[in-house]
Amino acid sequence: MKILMNIKENIKKCEAEFVIVTALLFLTIVVGVIFLFFAPKQTFSEDENRVLEPVPDISFSSVEDGSFMKHIESYVGDHFMLRKTFVSMNTSVQLLMGKRDVGSNYSDTPAVGGVYFGKDDHIYEVLLPNHTDTFKRNLAGLNLFAKKSALPFYFVPVPSGSQEQQDRLPLSAPNHDQHEELNAIKTSANSNTHVIDLFDALSDRTGNDYYYKTDHHWNTYGAYEGYKGLATAMGMTAAPRDDFDFKAASTQFYGTLYSKAVLTNQAPDILYLPVYKKQMALTQQTGKKTRDNLFWDEYLQKKDKYSVFLGGNHSVDVVKNADVKNGKKLLILKDSYANSMVPFLATNFSEIHIIDLRYYNLDIYDYIQQNGITETAAIYSIKQLCDVSIANKLSAR
């Protein structure tokens, strides 16, 4: 009898617990639904650097073919309550479970590597072997450009942070060796091509940190090392680093690698601007607009703070220095790595013409003739050359 009474009492206790749990679950669902309907909607996640799913349109056809349910699932996933907190918790749980390659998607074709969380608060992009012919075609296109332009050509392939700082990666973390691409560039170079090897200069064996902790770019000090290497290859004297005041423009820079795996306790980067101490009458022409400064301060208030350099990527920029009278006109083919190097190069050239082939659709060889270009350079991250095709913009006339 006593046993039966204990069982009944336990059942009553369980029933009370079930009621409480059910009530809390129901309340959470109700609050979540109300939040989805009435909370202000974001269209873009700055932390993740991507467009969020908009409110899906409902129609008979979208319900019938199942697309509405897919869109509504994505919408809820992008807008649920306390989303940033849960996204950060998800990253933390993956790291606690021992996962190293966070934010990857190997179901894509080609596969997309994630990031490693390394030493000294560094996040590193995972470098995968190049399984496409993108790099091969881009290299052939740049070699063709060197031949067709018939001008001195300086090729600056920039290694990634995870290549240069391997001692800070997780123990035995798989990582592609970018020396493979560097050797291919050197082997195929034309007689008028000068390949600038920055692997030793940017290595952490120098005792310096030349890469951002949360972003895939080199930092301003790394850009200066790249500038020194390029200036030396060109037979010019690089402006001494002491000629620049490295001004801390932002202490809260969270870059592209942070966007791949949001973690709320991640330390931010400090973004420095190289302000030349001497007189320098600079202008930057972008389209029909001309500015008297290479630093677009408005980006310091945005997530994409790296775009403070030149205002990001445009099809064509022309930087002129009225205080340099040597008549040298440099054409740079580039990705965003070059943007932070241009303020240094501007001390050596009368004009720098900067073309991003991802957005430029005119004849590059006509441009060279029309603007009296005297020297050419290509400044690209090796990873970009493996991922994004530019070869079609360099085909012969």
**Are residues 131 and 90 located together in one domain of the fold?**
no
**Are residues 210 and 352 located together in one domain of the fold?**
yes
Within a domain: residue 110?
no
Model pLDDT, residue 47: 47
**Are residues 203 and 283 located together in one domain of the fold?**
yes
Helix, strand, coil fractions of the chain, as percent rounded to 5: 40, 20, 40
Torsion of CA 140, 145, 146, 152, to 10 degrees: -150
End-of-domain residue from the set 96, 115, 147: 96
Model pLDDT, residue 116: 93
pLDDT in tens, 169-205: 998 899 999 999 999 999 999 999 999 999 999 999 9
**Are residues 213 and 341 located together in one domain of the fold?**
yes
What is the domain range of residue 70?
A: 2-96
**Are residues 185 and 297 located together in one domain of the fold?**
yes
Per-residue pLDDT of the chain (397 residues; tens, 9 = 90+): 555 455 555 555 556 665 665 665 565 555 445 544 445 555 554 544 445 556 566 666 556 566 556 655 555 444 444 455 544 455 555 555 656 777 777 767 667 788 999 999 999 999 998 878 999 999 999 999 999 999 999 999 999 999 999 999 998 899 999 999 999 999 999 999 999 999 999 999 999 999 999 999 999 999 999 999 999 999 999 999 999 999 999 999 999 999 888 788 899 999 999 999 998 899 999 999 999 999 999 999 999 999 999 999 999 999 999 999 999 999 999 999 999 999 999 999 999 999 999 999 999 999 999 999 999 999 999 999 999 999 999 985 5
Question: For the stretch 313-332, what's the b/e string if a residue is b when 16 or more beta carbons lie within 10 angstroms of its beta carbon?
Answer: bbeebbbbbeebeeebbbbb
**Are residues 134 and 33 located together in one domain of the fold?**
no
**Are residues 83 and 207 located together in one domain of the fold?**
no
**Are residues 161 and 301 located together in one domain of the fold?**
yes
Model pLDDT, residue 86: 45
**Are residues 246 and 320 located together in one domain of the fold?**
yes
Model pLDDT, residue 112: 75
Within a domain: residue 216?
yes
**Are residues 143 and 26 located together in one domain of the fold?**
no
Which residue, 294, 299, 381, 295, is CA-closest to 346? Answer: 294
Within a domain: residue 174?
yes
**Are residues 220 and 333 located together in one domain of the fold?**
yes
**Are residues 70 and 185 located together in one domain of the fold?**
no
Residue 41 token pair:
């909607």
Model pLDDT, residue 160: 98
Within a domain: residue 13?
yes
- Specify the number of domains making up the chain: 2
Within a domain: residue 169?
yes
pLDDT in tens, 26-65: 655 554 455 444 455 555 545 444 455 565 666 665 565 6
Within a domain: residue 118?
no
pTM listed for this prediction? 0.81
Model pLDDT, residue 259: 86
Model pLDDT, residue 48: 44
Within a domain: residue 81?
yes
Within a domain: residue 314?
yes
